[in-house]
Amino acid sequence: MLKQVEGSIGVAEAIGLCRPDVVCAYPITPQTHIVEGLADMVRKGKIASNCQYINVESEFAALSVCIGSSATGVRSYTATSSQGLLFMAEAVYNASGMRLPIVMTIGNRAIGGPINIWNDQSDSMSMRDAGWIQIHAESNQEAGDLHIQAFKIAEQLSIPVMVCVDGFLLTHAYEQIESSTQEQVDEFLPPFKPMQALDCANPMSMGAMVGPEAFMEVRALNIAHFNNAIEPIQKISEEFETIFGRKAGGLYEHYNSEDAETVVVALGSVNGTLKDIIDEYKQDNVSIGSFKIGCYRPFPAKQIAEQLKHAKRVVVVEKDIFAGVGGCLANDITIALKDTDIKVYSVIGGLGGRPIFKKSLMKILDRAMKDELEELSFVDLDHSLVDREITREDLFMTKAV
Amino acid sequence: MSVDLKPGFSQTGNLTAGNRLQSIDIVSVQSTEDRANALTSGHRACQGCGEALGARMAIDKVMELSRNKVHVVNATGCLEVFTTPFPETSWNVPWLHSLFGNAPAVATGVQAALKAKGMQDVTVIAQGGDGSTVDIGFGCLSGMFERNDDVLYICYDNEAYMNTGVQRSGATPPTARTATTPLSGPHPGNNFGQGKNVPKIAMAHGIGYVATATIANVRDLEAKVTKAMSMKGARYLHIHVPCPLGWGSLPKDTIKLARLAVESGLYPLFEGEHGVITGVTKIRKKVPVDEYLKLQRRFTHLFKKGADAQDLAGVQAIADAHIKYYGLLDDGDK
């Protein structure tokens, strides 16, 4: 059934169809509408499980509650954004270390300071190596569909999954989506059978202290299981298509990029903008396409290298920048393409909610296609202001010395 | 320091755990043949560890009352470390450890999962030391209280961060020497006028049941576990557990110290329901705080030449204030 709903409500409805047993979250913009939607559904008995919705005092507690409920063998869900994800960081690593298949939505938002509530992807990027699978939604349709897949991925592999949904751009946008039915979801998603759980009939100690004699092996096993998730993630997205009749998720998606000279790589909702741009270039027969990465962690480096091997240059557009790294995705792509001569350009845009306009991006792509672009560039950055301040601060530092 | 291992036969009457002459319905579960032994032998606690004793006493009673239907969530700390060095475990119960500061929230999750599964006959226990309870996990504890989640939280209070090498916690008493309240400056040891009384804060949440207990009085401890287990919702039990390593006391004095803490008035035994004190355990034979303090190296500076008499007097004043506030002496003794 087609309907026009807010992205967050679409996500909440998809989660509700997954029959979660425990939903626990703490409010943070822009994740709030998702959990508000779920709280309402639980109150109204609209979820076909004995779902418990728990209000807690912090994000750290929210994920801790999910750790407890998942370890007791029930389907557990939380959602957060930005500072909230940082505040739960210790529990984020604990959940993946204990291989608890929790699903968490990240309503992608900038991290401070300075404090900023708007969209970029530096929050989920800050946890990219925490041992959680990370999948990114391009549209509201995909945001809902990815959650249905996320529970299956998590529970089949016993690895927690973050579903990254761009804050405001998706969470607060009204779009037409095709909703799923309970029958479809039940056919696709089997009941949760935990790898291990607290059980009075079979008491076991979970979360024991591991010393130097075994810690290396535990970590190595954990990473091996994590890296093995790539194929199942692709397979589960194909199973989804069979049952639901629409594509969602998977490792990557080409858009006119299978044999393009220039390939623009991106995560999340900016792919929509890119597709419009590619359509415009197509009219002028420019050899450029876009390539959406659906699964960011584990990073399908081999598959991506294979898909991009024909390209002359790759332009990575992303909404994050980290000290010492630059753009995380550009970094990953550079490593994936290290055995090729493909030129990689890193473009940072949309930080703290600054819109990424088609025109601005096309200017950058035009320069990239002439190989005139800097290795690292920014979309609509006020260079004069930044340069002026750097000069002023240099003077200040000189005086101080 | 030499350790006197000679057994001491003292007549402590009906309060001892091992009094097998009592009728079976009032005898401590610790002296019955079929006790669950929730925390079994072979673990790596120090000799004379009060926390190991406290945990076994409390959880054995919980096991008896719940007919072994228990899930235990444990915060990081000594109890977690000495009981579960992978691949070994000393726990005969389903047991889960996540982090230092989140045991109450994890227990909420366990409880919610049981509710979702329709298994509310399983008792959920969360437990941790004073560092976890009073300091780092306090936010989660308060949240669990406020929501009145069906969890019995047990704090084993040894009055400092023992697992990391005896640093001060919010439960460390004034004047006590710890690694971060050293014996230097005009007032050596921990400061006066600081610290957090979690049993009282728990009372302020209005939760169904709050009690303090001691490993020196097993039957009182078990009675409080029994009372707690007869109720639903958030409940809090605070157990005082001497630590030979952190306190600089003899392993053989662990129970004695626990008793002296009560008899001096420094550690009041009380219970309360919904924010109202409903009972106190009277002091049987009041002792000055010196008797308790002198057995512990963390307090020896109070008795050295040149010590500020105000410091010792300050500790006695705390004990006296407890005795007055809780009415710990029979009227005739005052």
Inter-chain contact A65–B80, Cβ cutoff 8 Å? no
**CA-based nearest residue to A7, from A46, A25, A33, A26:** A33
Q: How confident is the model over B266-275, as a mean pLDDT?
A: 98
A280, containing H or E segment: helix A270-283
C-alpha of A106 from chain center: 7
The chain A residue lying nearest B78, using CA atoms, is A209
How far is the C-alpha of B263 from the C-alpha of B200, rounded, in Å? 20
Write down the pLDDT at residue B2. Answer: 46
Write down the pLDDT at residue B19. Answer: 59
Is B6 within 8 Å of chain A by CB?
Answer: no
Write down the pLDDT at residue B32. Answer: 83
Stretches where chain A sits below pLDDT 50 are none
Across chain B, mean pLDDT equals 93
How far is the C-alpha of B65 from the C-alpha of B70, rounded, in Å? 10
Residue A379 DSSP one-character state: T
Show the beta-strand stretches assigned E in chain B.
70-74, 95-97, 123-129, 152-157, 209-214, 235-240, 270-273, 276-280
Q: How confident is the model over B190-195, as a mean pLDDT?
A: 96
Select the residue of B86, B94, B108 nearest A210 (Cβ to Cβ). B86
Select the residue of A51, A61, A72 nearest B110 (Cβ to Cβ). A72
- CB distance A15 to A185 below 8 Å: no
Cα angle A215, A218, A219; round to 5: 85
How far is the C-alpha of A176 from the C-alpha of B104, rounded, in Å? 42
SS3 content of chain A, % helix, strand, coil (to 5): 45, 20, 40
**A91: its two tokens:** 């529990």
Select the residue of A67, A72, A208 nearest B86 (Cβ to Cβ). A208
A343, containing H or E segment: strand A343-348
Write down the pLDDT at residue B16. Answer: 54
Please state, for a pLDDT cut of 90, what percent of chain B lies above it.
Answer: 87
Assign B186 a pLDDT band (cuts: 50, 70, 90): confident
Write down the pLDDT at residue A400. Answer: 66
Which residues in chain A touch residue B69, judged by CB atoms under 8 angstroms apart?
200
How far is the C-alpha of A376 from the C-alpha of A348, rounded, in Å? 8
Inter-chain contact A67–B115, Cβ cutoff 8 Å? no
Write down the pLDDT at residue A1. Answer: 86
Measured in degrees and rounded to the nearest 5, phi and psi for residue B155 equal -105, 125
Q: Model confidence over B82-96: pLDDT tens digits? A: 999 999 999 999 999
Structural domains of chain B in order of their starting residue, each with its CATH number: 33-333 (3.40.50.970)
Least confident of A313-317, A391-395, B11-15, B117-121: B11-15
Which residues in chain A touch residue B92, judged by CB atoms under 8 angstroms apart?
203
Check pLDDT > 70 for residue B318.
yes
Q: How many A/B residue pairs have CB atoms within 8 Å?
A: 166
Sign of CA dihedral B39, A218, A86, A32: negative
DSSP string over A60-120: HHHHHHHHHHHHTT--EEEEE-HHHHHHTHHHHHHHHHTT---EEEEEE----SSP--S--
pTM of structure: 0.96
**A350: its two tokens:** 């949309």
Q: Model confidence over A244-281: pLDDT tens digits? A: 999 999 999 999 999 999 999 999 999 999 999 999 99
Which one of B86, B90, B147 would you mutate to disrupt binding with A, by most A Cβ within 10 Å of its Cβ?
B86
Write down the pLDDT at residue B5. Answer: 44
Assign B8 a pLDDT band (cuts: 50, 70, 90): very low
Select the residue of B81, B87, B106 nearest A68 (Cβ to Cβ). B106
Write down the pLDDT at residue B282. Answer: 95
| Residues across chain A | 401
Check pLDDT > 60 for residue B9.
no
Inter-chain contact B113–A67, Cβ cutoff 8 Å? no
Write down the pLDDT at residue B13. Answer: 52
| CB contact set of A112 (below 8 Å; sequence gap of 6+) | A82, A83
What ranges in B148-264 are assigned the alpha helix state H? 198-204, 218-229, 244-247, 254-263
Write down the pLDDT at residue B78. Answer: 98
Smallest Cα distance from B68 to chain A, Å: 7
B248 C-beta neighbours (distance < 10 Å), count: 16
Write down the pLDDT at residue A396. Answer: 78
Assign B20 a pLDDT band (cuts: 50, 70, 90): low
Phi-psi category of A255—alpha, beta or left, where left has phi over 0 and alpha has psi -120 to 50? beta
Distances (CA, A) of A348 to A48, A316, A376, B279: 43, 8, 8, 66
In this structure, are strands A22-25 and B123-129 parallel, antiparallel, or unpaired? unpaired
**CA-based nearest residue to B158, from B79, B61, B94, B82:** B79
Write down the pLDDT at residue B22. Answer: 64
Check pLDDT > 60 for residue B18.
no
Please state, for a pLDDT cut of 90, what percent of chain A lies above it.
Answer: 97
Write down the pLDDT at residue B21. Answer: 64
Write down the pLDDT at residue A224. Answer: 97
**CA-based nearest residue to B229, from B124, B74, B149, B157:** B124
